[in-house]
């Protein structure tokens, strides 16, 4: 997913929906990069393009994965 993809999806939704109410765009579903600065820059670029939520990836077959994410602390872009 690229910022250009987000802009295209947002434009398509804006042009085709019947309501003018605000809406959210939620993305994610991929493992974090080891380089947090690179990951933050990527997520920030999607947010600038219109994404409003990022969903953290959690594989269903790795019970210790969530603990590792918690120990790494939240990845904030602000």
pLDDT digits (tens, 9 = 90+) for 21-41: 999 999 987 888 888 889 889
Instruction: Provide the pLDDT for residue 67.
Output: 82
* Torsion 30-49-44-76 (CA) sign: negative
Instruction: Provide the pLDDT for residue 2.
Output: 96
Task: Confirm if 32 and 17 have CB atoms less than 8 A apart.
Answer: no
Task: Confirm if 36 and 44 have CB atoms less than 8 A apart.
Answer: no
Entry pTM: 0.80
**Residues contacting residue 53 through CB under 8 Å, at least 6 positions apart:** 24, 25, 26, 27, 28
pLDDT-flagged residues of the chain (< 50): none
Distance separating alpha carbons of residues 42 and 1, to the nearest angstrom = 10
């Amino acid at each position: 997913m690229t910022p250009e993809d987000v802009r295209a999806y947002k434009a398509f939704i804006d042009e085709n929906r019947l309501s003018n109410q605000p809406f959210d765009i939620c993305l994610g579903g991929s493992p974090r990069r080891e380089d947090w600065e690179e990951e933050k820059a990527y997520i920030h670029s999607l947010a600038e393009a219109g994404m409003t939520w990022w969903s953290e990836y959690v594989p269903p077959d790795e019970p210790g994965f969530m603990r590792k994410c918690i120990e790494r602390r939240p990845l904030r872009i602000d």
